[in-house]
Structures are given as structure tokens and as C-alpha cells.
């Protein structure tokens, strides 16, 4: 109740009652005010003493109210200092992250988001934000109120668990110690500095240290143990975490001697097999004395144990069983399906994400059942066959793809399955992982398709401009050059020379005109301005007409031309396009057939996909085409061309146009050729109904 309201009531009491009644009212009001003050005091105590950060902020990026815990959490000295900062620029590493958080906040119900903030000293902190927008009576946002909880350690713990799991899995699948060591260095580098990292082994007979893997510096693979720091660690059989001053003391005490430069901090743990120290795993920093902390010793010891297990494979699974509780926590926090089965391929257990995949709540709903209880029978049978083969061979099956139907949709997975052995090296089951890559595969297929299309378009464009810049400029340059000679020297040139120059100019002009025609035709096809105008016509008449058109070429080269096609061949296509194809293929056959050779035109009725087609073959006994060059035909990016038997030239675009025209008429075109034997170009045209 507001104080103004209480005063009004007191005034009314004054005029309506006597002094005794007024006194009673005053006493009641005092008690109410004391009660309100007590409530406000409790609220302030709760606000100020909460271990979580509590705040109110505006959309513009200013704090309205903060508690002490938030001030401490973000590394500021006082509430006043924190209230004066710009939230967008000073708390967020990227302003867009603040905008995203605010857009998500436009709802009246409470929310919980996890995101990162920047402390005053510039370091990173991960927080969980529980809060909501507060609106006025008109629905306008007054402010945002929320509770921030520091979850940085949880985020780091999750990453540590992920690293440890991957190292554990890699220990099962790799046979190379060097490869395994490099993998450990890479994964461990996600959570601690491994820029200077090595794994070492002691040879007690030779008293040498062997280092199969080292990063960050050059070192001999094997050197005398003597008084090296690594040898000291192996001798003490205890983890050593030491800084530069500690190393200096060991040096002064003649316990160690330096091999190379001295580190500012050095952390090493022993490698043990059956209680015996066989080597060490070490990280060090030459420039940051705070690179490691005490808690890293436990992490390094865990990694050390798995290197040892990789050396003695038979103990890997036994050590895994002893670490079941740790592994279970890891398994339930990784974003992939993990399961394990007995020799009959019945489930012994699954992780949490596998339960979600199966739309189940409890692991007990899975144990004792098989894939036949959850998936299509064909898929389940395939899975079981795979698993039985793995257990029979004792060999894992890694990084392979499989699929099954889920909710009517075919889902794709990357899977790994490994046999489980007992202490007698007998297979007792199988452990597997699967990761749903359906969305990733869909995106990859789209990208590959798009990449292929873009590459083809780019290659086509480049070749197109290459033809224009090279094949057009050269003959035009010839025309200009020889015409210039005629212009300047016509009075002094002999008649035969003038005729020779004129002939060159004529041939160059004809070639340029032909190339321009083919380029324009091809360009029109590409942009879709040429579409087939189909009609029913007699193909045999069109063949006869085009044969008559090349008779002079045939006679001049003394080539035989044989016709073996049926009469009255009726087809449904664009007559001009098909005529251009026939004319081009006939010209090519004549061009590449030497004197005395033969060109043959034949036809055949065929059925393709329940439709009738006429197949035309134009064969020659010419110079043929190599297998390598056959692959380049019909492709503008290659623009294959060669000279005829009488040095006839060509643009190289004729066959490309033939392919475009035939395909626009729903036909196909192909070539069969052999060097020095001849070529056969075969195309199909849809027969008339």
C-alpha cells in the first residue's frame, strides 16, 4: 500500500471517527509500514546475498540494477562501475551476440540460455542466463531481468570429457604408437598447452631415452638417459610439476643437467605397465610460467594410462571396465549414439542419445532386445550380419556409412563397430557408435552438385573466351596483315603472289565466318534462344538431300560414299537441327577420310525405354581418333580439333553443336573410333508415331 493512500485513509478517519478510533488506525498503519519495510529488507538481503548474479538491463545496453555477486563474477570493483558500462561493447566479444540474445528474449516466459561474456580483464566466462522481458500495460518492454550463473567449469568439464573419450576410442583403433601420440597431442591441446609435448620410453639395458614423438622442438629420437629431467621423473615414479626456480635447484644439487634450454614450467607423469615405469609423458612451456596448474596432473595421468594400455592391447578392455563409472558419464555426454551388444547382437546397453534416437526413456526398454525390435527387418538383418562378421573375424569395422528408415525418412549414419574381448582374448560382444549425418550429407551433395555445375560453367566460359580471343584474332590478324601487304605493294607484287595472298585472305575469312556462325549458334543454344520446332518428316529424304550437297567434296577426294539406309524413314524432330547434324557429320567423315577411302551411311530401328527411335550411323575408313581424344569430343572445355587428310581446317565446335541439337530432340549421340581404322558417329532420332 502506498503512503499517500494511507494518509488519505487517516484523513477520512479523522473526520469520521473520534480520537480513539484515529489512534487505532494509526497503530495499524504503523504496523503495516513496519511489515512492508521488513519485506523490502528481506528482498534486498536476498538480492545482495545471492550466489548468482542478478540484474536488470535496458534494450539499449545499460544495467539498471545489479547485485554484488554479479559485480564479483564479472571482475568489477563496485556496482557503480558495472552500472556505468556499455553492455554491448564491454560485455560481449561480438555485438551481434548481444543482439541475438536480445531477440531471443522477446517473450514473456522465463528462458535459459548459455553464452559467453567478457570480464573486465578481458578473459572469457560462460554463463547460464535465466530471465525474461518485463512489459508495461501497453506491451512495451520496460527492462530485461535475469539471473546469471557461472558455468565456465561445466563447459570446460564437458570439453575435457570429450577429449578423454576420443583419446580412449583412438587407443582401441590405432596400431601405430606414433600416430596415437600425435593424436593425443592434438586432442590434449584443446584443453592445455601442448605446443611442447613429448612421450618418452626408457631402455634400461642401454640406459637411453627413446622419444618416438615430440612437438615444439627438434630432438634426437634416442639419447643417453644420464641426468635428464625425464630420467629423474622415471626414477622417482611420481608426477612432477615444477617451475624454473625448482629446476634450478635440481640443477644446483646435481640431480639433473639440462639438455637444451630451460623451461619456465615443466609437467610430467610416468607411464606404467603392471606397476613398472616404462617411460613418461611431458608438457612444458618456455615462455609462460602459468601455462599449467595442479589439476592438470590428474588429466595427464589419465592420458598416460591410455598410452600404456595401447602398448598392451589385451588389458585395454579390462581397464575400461574398471573405469566404467567415468566412461558412463562420458558416454552420456557425447553427441553420438553409443551401444554395446552380446554375441547374439542383443543390446547390453546404450547411451542417452541412443535412447532419444529410439524414442525411448529408459535403458531397460532396450536391454535384451535387438535391432529387429526397433528397425525395418531388412535393415536389422544387415546390421546383425555386419556385427556377426566383425565378432567372427575379431576385427573392427570403422568409419563406414549405413542407413535405415526413421519416421518414413531414410537417415544416413557414420558408424564404427569393434569387437569386445575377455581376459582370454575371446570375443564376448561388440561396441559401436553411429552419428546421424543425414543433413550433412544432403548439404554436401548439394554443394558437390553446385560445385560441379559452377566448374562446368566456368570452364565453358573460359574456353568460349579463349576461342574468341585466339581463334578469331589469328585469322582476322592474317586478313589484316595480308590485305595490308596487298594495299602497300600491289603494284610491285607478281600476279602469282597477289593470287596467293588473296587465297590466304579468302580462306581466313571463310574460317572466321564459319567460326563466328558456330559460336553464335552455340551461344544461342546456351541461353535458350534456340528451341526445337518439331515436325514429322521423312528422314531418308533429308539424308539424300545432304548427300547430294557433299557429292562435289566426295568426288574431289576420290572417296566412295555408300548409302544403306531404309527409305520412307519417318521421324519427329526439328528438321533444320537434324539437317545441320547430318551435314556436319558427313563433312567430318569426308574431311578425315583419305583418297580411296569409304564413307557409309546406314540406319536401324531400335527401341529405348519402350519408345521407337531411328539410329543413324555415319562411318568412315579415315584416320580415326585416339581413345584419349574420344573423351574430349562434344566438350567445349576441350574444344578438340584436328586437320583433315588434305589439311582441311575446322572450328572444333561442330560436334558440340551436334550434341546440343540431338539432345534437344530427345536423342543421343556417341562415337566409336580406332586410330588408322576409322570412326563411326551414331545418333538417334525419335521415330514418328
Task: Give per-residue pLDDT as tens, 389-432.
Answer: 999 999 999 888 888 777 777 888 888 999 999 888 899 999 88
Instruction: State the Cα–Cα distance between residues 575 and 665, nearest whole angstrom.
Output: 10
Chain position carrying cell 509500514: 33
Instruction: State the Cα–Cα distance between residues 527 and 600, nearest whole angstrom.
Output: 35
Write the DSSP symbol of residue 363: G
Q: What is the DSSP string of 301-339?
A: HHHHHHHHHHHSGGGHHHHHHHTHHHHHHHHTTSSSEEE
Q: Which residue has the higher pLDDT, 2 or 22?
A: 22
Instruction: State the Cα–Cα distance between residues 517 and 444, nearest whole angstrom.
Output: 40
Q: How many residues does the chain have?
A: 689
Over residues 236-271, the pLDDT tens digits come to 999 999 998 988 888 888 888 876 678 899 999 998
Instruction: State the Cα–Cα distance between residues 657 and 666, nearest whole angstrom.
Output: 14
Write the DSSP symbol of residue 517: H
Q: What is the pLDDT of residue 441?
A: 79
Residue 180 above 90 pLDDT? Answer: no
Share of the chain above pLDDT 70, in %: 76
Residue 676 above 90 pLDDT? Answer: no
Torsion 16-19-24-26 (CA) sign: positive
Q: Give the C-alpha distances (Å, rounded to integers) separating 261 from 33, 235, 253.
A: 74, 22, 18
Instruction: State the Cα–Cα distance between residues 585 and 680, nearest whole angstrom.
Output: 10
Share of the chain above pLDDT 90, in %: 9
Q: What is the largest CA-CA distance in the chain?
A: 145
Closest by CA to 530, choosing from 539, 520, 538, is 520
Q: What is the pLDDT of residue 572?
A: 92
Q: Which residue has the higher pLDDT, 343 or 226?
A: 343
Instruction: State the Cα–Cα distance between residues 271 and 553, nearest whole angstrom.
Output: 87
- Cell readout for 129 is 542466463
Task: For residue 685, name the pLDDT band (cuts at 50, 70, 90).
Answer: very high
Q: What is the pLDDT of residue 319?
A: 44
Contact 343, 428 (CB under 8 A): yes
Residue 317 above 50 pLDDT? Answer: no
Q: What is the pLDDT of residue 220?
A: 58
DSSP E strands: which ranges in 557-596? 560-564, 570-574
For the entire predicted model, the pTM comes to: 0.36
Task: For residue 14, name the pLDDT band (cuts at 50, 70, 90).
Answer: very low
Strands 141-150 and 53-57: antiparallel
Q: What is the pLDDT of residue 256?
A: 83
Instruction: State the Cα–Cα distance between residues 583 and 683, nearest whole angstrom.
Output: 13
Instruction: State the Cα–Cα distance between residues 443 and 451, nearest whole angstrom.
Output: 12
CB contact set of 573 (below 8 Å; sequence gap of 6+): 532, 534, 535, 537, 665, 667, 685, 686
Residue 364 above 90 pLDDT? Answer: no
CB contact set of 364 (below 8 Å; sequence gap of 6+): none
Closest by CA to 440, choosing from 450, 448, 431, 428, is 448
Amino acid at each position: 500500500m502506498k503512503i499517500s493512500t494511507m494518509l488519505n485513509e487517516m484523513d477520512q478517519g479523522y473526520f469520521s471517527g473520534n480520537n480513539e478510533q484515529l489512534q487505532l488506525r494509526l497503530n495499524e498503519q504503523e504496523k503495516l509500514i513496519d511489515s512492508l519495510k521488513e519485506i523490502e529488507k528481506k528482498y534486498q538481503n536476498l538480492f545482495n546475498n545471492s550466489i548468482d548474479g542478478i540484474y536488470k538491463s535496458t534494450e539499449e545496453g545499460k544495467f539498471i540494477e545489479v547485485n554484488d555477486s554479479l559485480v564479483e563474477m564479472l571482475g568489477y570493483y563496485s556496482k557503480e562501475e558495472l552500472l556505468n558500462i556499455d553492455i554491448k561493447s564491454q560485455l560481449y566479444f561480438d555485438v551481434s551476440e548481444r543482439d541475438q540474445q536480445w531477440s531471443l528474449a522477446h517473450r514473456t516466459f522465463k528462458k535459459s540460455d548459455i553464452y559467453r561474456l567478457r570480464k573486465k580483464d578481458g578473459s572469457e566466462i560462460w554463463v547460464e542466463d535465466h530471465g525474461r522481458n518485463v512489459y508495461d500495460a501497453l506491451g512495451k518492454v520496460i527492462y530485461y531481468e535475469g539471473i546469471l550463473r557461472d558455468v565456465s567449469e561445466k563447459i570446460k568439464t564437458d570439453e575435457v570429457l570429450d577429449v578423454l573419450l576420443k583419446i580412449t576410442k583412438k587407443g582401441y583403433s590405432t596400431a601405430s604408437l606414433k600416430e596415437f601420440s600425435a593424436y593425443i597431442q592434438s586432442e590434449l591441446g584443446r584443453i592445455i598447452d601442448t605446443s611442447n609435448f613429448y612421450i618418452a620410453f626408457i631402455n634400461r639395458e642401454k640406459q637411453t631415452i627413446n622419444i618416438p614423438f615430440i612437438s615444439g622442438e627438434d630432438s634426437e629420437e634416442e639419447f643417453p638417459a644420464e641426468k635428464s629431467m625425464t630420467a629423474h621423473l622415471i626414477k622417482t615414479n611420481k608426477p612432477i610439476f615444477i617451475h624454473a626456480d625448482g629446476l634450478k635447484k635440481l640443477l644446483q644439487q646435481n640431480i639433473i643437467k639440462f639438455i637444451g634450454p630451460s623451461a619456465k614450467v615443466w609437467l610430467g607423469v610416468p607411464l606404467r605397465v603392471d606397476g613398472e615405469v616404462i617411460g613418461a609423458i611431458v608438457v612444458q612451456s618456455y615462455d609462460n610460467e602459468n601455462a599449467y596448474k595442479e589439476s592438470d596432473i590428474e588429466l595427464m595421468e589419465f592420458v598416460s594410462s591410455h598410452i600404456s594400455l595401447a602398448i598392451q592391447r589385451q588389458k585395454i578392455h579390462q581397464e575400461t571396465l574398471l573405469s566404467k563409472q567415468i566412461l558412463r558419464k562420458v558416454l552420456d555426454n557425447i553427441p553420438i549414439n553409443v551401444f554395446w551388444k552380446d554375441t547374439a547382437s542383443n543390446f547390453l546397453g546404450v547411451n542417452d542419445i541412443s535412447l532419444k534416437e529410439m524414442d525411448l526413456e529408459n535403458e531397460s526398454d532396450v536391454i535384451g532386445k535387438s535391432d529387429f525390435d526397433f528397425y525395418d527387418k531388412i535393415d536389422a538383418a544387415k546390421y546383425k550380419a555386419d556385427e556377426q562378421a566383425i565378432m567372427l573375424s575379431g576385427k573392427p569395422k570403422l568409419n563406414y556409412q549405413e542407413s535405415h528408415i526413421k519416421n518414413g525418412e531414410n537417415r544416413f549414419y557414420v558408424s564404427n563397430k569393434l569387437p569386445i574381448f575377455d581376459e582370454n582374448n575371446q570375443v564376448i560382444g561388440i561396441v559401436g557408435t553411429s552419428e546421424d549425418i543425414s543433413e550433412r550429407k544432403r548439404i554436401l551433395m548439394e554443394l558437390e552438385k553446385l560445385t560441379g555445375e559452377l566448374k562446368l560453367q566456368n570452364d565453358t566460359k573460359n574456353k568460349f573466351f579463349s576461342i574468341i580471343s585466339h581463334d578469331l584474332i589469328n585469322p582476322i590478324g592474317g586478313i589484316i596483315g595480308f590485305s595490308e601487304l596487298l594495299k602497300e605493294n600491289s603494284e610491285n607484287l607478281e600476279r602469282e603472289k597477289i593470287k596467293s595472298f588473296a587465297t590466304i585472305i579468302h580462306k581466313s575469312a571463310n574460317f572466321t565466318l564459319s567460326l563466328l556462325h558456330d559460336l553464335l549458334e552455340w551461344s544461342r543454344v546456351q541461353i535458350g534462344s534456340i528451341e526445337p520446332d518439331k515436325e514429322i518428316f521423312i528422314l531418308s529424304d533429308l539424308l539424300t538431300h545432304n548427300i547430294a550437297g557433299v557429292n562435289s567434296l566426295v568426288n574431289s577426294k576420290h572417296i566412295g560414299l555408300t548409302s544403306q539406309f531404309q527409305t520412307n524413314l519417318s521421324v519427329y524432330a526439328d528438321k533444320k537441327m537434324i539437317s545441320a547434324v547430318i551435314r556436319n557429320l558427313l563433312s567430318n567423315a569426308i574431311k578425315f577420310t583419305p583418297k580411296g577411302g569409304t564413307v557409309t551411311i546406314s540406319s536401324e530401328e531400335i527401341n529405348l525405354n519402350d519408345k521407337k527411335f531411328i539410329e543413324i550411323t555415319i562411318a568412315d575408313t579415315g584416320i580415326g581418333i585416339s581413345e584419349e581424344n574420344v573423351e574430349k569430343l562434344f566438350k567445349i572445355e576441350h574444344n578438340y580439333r584436328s586437320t583433315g587428310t588434305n589439311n582441311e581446317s575446322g572450328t572444333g565446335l561442330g560436334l558440340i553443336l551436334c550434341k546440343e541439337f540431338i539432345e534437344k530432340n530427345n536423342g543421343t549421340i556417341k562415337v566409336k573410333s580406332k586410330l588408322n581404322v576409322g570412326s563411326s558417329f551414331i545418333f538417334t532420332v525419335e521415330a514418328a508415331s
